[in-house]
Amino acid sequence: MTRVIKKSKDFIKLRNGKLFSDKSVGFIPTMGALHQGHIALIKKSLKQNDITVVSIYVNPTQFNNPDDFKKYPDTFNQDLQILKKLKVDYLLHPNYSEIYPDNYNYRIIETDFSKKLCGKFRPGHFEGVLTVVMKLLNIVKPSRAYFGEKDYQQLQLVRGMAKAFFLDTKIISHPTIRTKEGLALSSRNLRLNKEQLKVAPEFNRLLKSRLPINEIKSQLKKLGFKVEYIEKINNRIFGAVYLGNIRLIDNVKI
């Protein structure tokens, strides 16, 4: 039975009690609208840990576009049924005042990688991400925390933060889960219409194509995408595009 906990102090009290004593804890932070990507992370945690905790919290501080925050899918009841079926032990479901009793006066800031790629186009986004992840990790104190590779920049920043602040939590990654057509699973996909869903997998196909970046951009534009960026960094190519007003990100190892 999945137990829902809404208050930080209640979870901390539970965490410090006998139930968690000498047990490994796996943690998956989410914003809900759970899909097979989240489920893959949860299943990995269930295999590797004695206790698995999932959080659902739509974090306003990482949305540089307030309209995007308002339109974020709310599927809480469906998500809870998924967690119960998977036999997740705890769902942490806080509100804003539980996460930000300081009203976001204190923040985690990274000064290099977070200013590139998505950070260049979404000012304040990664400050919000790193701050909320740090808060959740301090509440849960997990042995392991799980993140997908779809948002590879986020993964690298969280890893860097854990190392920089000497956190005991091990950051575990999982390969991007995709549709059979190649589209990276994302909660934002719920907002794509039928025509957009047919075109969206072309984003990944072109990132994998090994074409010159200018040619990738050109072909994406011909298909109706608005290109925010396509960049190669080390052995990976990263991209962010819009289909209509829906922003999609992806990355491919090369």
- Could you list the active site residues? 38
Question: Helix, strand, coil shares of the chain as percentages rounded to 5?
Answer: 45, 20, 35
Please state, in angstroms and rounded to a whole number, the distance separating the CA atoms of residues 5 and 27. Answer: 14
Q: 63 in helix, strand or coil?
A: coil
CB of 82 closer than 8 Å to CB of 33: no
Residues 6+ apart with CB under 8 A from 62: 124, 125, 126, 127, 128, 129, 132
Quick one: which of 253, 250, 193 has its CA closest to 224?
193
N-terminal to C-terminal alpha carbon distance within the chain:
42
88: tokens are: 């997740």
Q: 47 in helix, strand or coil?
A: helix
Please state, in angstroms and rounded to a whole number, the distance separating the CA atoms of residues 147 and 152. Answer: 9
